[in-house]
Structure 1
């Protein structure tokens, strides 16, 4: 089962990457069985915490989002995560030949590497149930660091390249990931200006 890889990547990542490389699951099946499920964690938790729990900054009063606003932002976040994983997977396959990958002809490898590398980020979404900004920032920063390490660790195994080339390949992919992140943030600003921004209420 694809979801079993989520736990294996934390306990024995090397063996798990080797198993993932052998599977060659289709990108569609990988998305439906893995990405769609795990990517939903953060939006659902964010909706619950922002619409029902609320948060405070310093000694200020409790702040929440309206139900409609929380749903809209959660759905947009979910879509952005799905697009981001696909874009990163596409970039992995696109740059594969440049770095001497032997598996670039398998279209599922790039998506698989992107999806499974993002597992810590997906699971970090549970932290949003405790809506404290500094706590959420710390959890997601740690998850991002482990995701980056997973990608570096998995590149030579899944894409069939030398370990030395994984450093440059991984650096290029992290740059792509940052571009995707900045793009989504820019898109958020545009959508907010179009009226799909957060609507706050007092708790």
Structure 2
């Protein structure tokens, strides 16, 4: 099917695509579904850069502002923070693929189609809100605003029918089951990330007494 999406034709890129899916998802999903592009393009040009926002912002914010509260803050050693950011980024990418696989599998249980290409793009573009909201991690005391990333759930819901062919009256159930599966995946990966964080602290020298700097604001 020919692509009538002005974003691709004008070459405005990732920012315009993010704006389109965030502000007019019901109009944008059919356009995404109609594009003759594979999942690899969405992965390389969209998922990879946006998924890096959270780890990078947390890294920078942690070094500048530290973590904590009530006037007591600590800053991880730089190497520990870098190790944590890299491991978190890699695990986030792995989780993306697993959730896309689950979205494709679960779709068939709700009357949808078996289409890995579309399932991956559904999950990828749905994650736009969560990835962009992670920018608030740059300033730790604003991290509560990452709750805005919950808009991704609505994006997934609106994309279920045009992307995966799930009947509209079953899109809510499909979304709920997929989100629950995604939460389970993230719990597992959060535990794995904790292991990397601990090893990163050791590698960064925290066990030698200079991993953190406590200071009051």
- Displacement after TM superposition at 1:56 (Å): 4.4
Structure 2 residue aligned with 1:153: 158
- Displacement after TM superposition at 1:200 (Å): 2.5
- Displacement after TM superposition at 1:175 (Å): 1.0
- Please say if residues 62 and 140 of structure 2, whose CA atoms lie closer than 8 Å, have aligned partners that are also in contact: yes
- Displacement after TM superposition at 1:116 (Å): 0.7
**CA deviation vs aligned residue, 1:134-183 (integer Å, no higher than 9, x gap):** x31x322221x211111111101111121111111111101111111110
- Please say if residues 88 and 176 of structure 1, whose CA atoms lie closer than 8 Å, have aligned partners that are also in contact: yes
SS at match of 1:25: coil
| 2:128 pairs with 1:122 | no
- Displacement after TM superposition at 1:30 (Å): 1.2
| 2:70 pairs with 1:66 | no
- Please say if residues 24 and 109 of structure 1, whose CA atoms lie closer than 8 Å, have aligned partners that are also in contact: no
- Please say if residues 88 and 193 of structure 2, whose CA atoms lie closer than 8 Å, have aligned partners that are also in contact: no
Q: Distance in 2 between matches of 1:191 and 1:43?
A: 13
TM-score between the two structures when normalised by the length of structure 1? 0.88
Structure 2 residue aligned with 1:141: 147
Compared CA separation, residues 55 and 187, structure 1 to 2 (3 A): closer
Tell me the matched-pair count. 195
Structure 1 residue aligned with 2:64: 52
Deviates more, 1:92-101 or 1:106-115: 92-101
Structure 2 residue aligned with 1:23: 35
**CA deviation vs aligned residue, 1:59-103 (integer Å, no higher than 9, x gap):** 22x42111101100100111111111111111111122221114x
Compared CA separation, residues 101 and 59, structure 1 to 2 (3 A): same
Structure 2 residue aligned with 1:77: 88
SS at match of 2:155: helix
Deviates more, 1:23-32 or 1:122-131: 23-32
Gaps of 5+ in 2: 1-7
| 2:140 pairs with 1:131 | yes
Compared CA separation, residues 146 and 188, structure 1 to 2 (3 A): same
Gaps of 5+ in 1: none
- Displacement after TM superposition at 1:14 (Å): 0.6
| 2:20 pairs with 1:8 | yes
- Please say if residues 40 and 78 of structure 1, whose CA atoms lie closer than 8 Å, have aligned partners that are also in contact: yes
Flag the structure with larger Rg: 2
Structure 1 residue aligned with 2:3: none
Q: Distance in 2 between matches of 1:12 and 1:156?
A: 15
- Please say if residues 80 and 197 of structure 2, whose CA atoms lie closer than 8 Å, have aligned partners that are also in contact: no
- Displacement after TM superposition at 1:24 (Å): 4.4
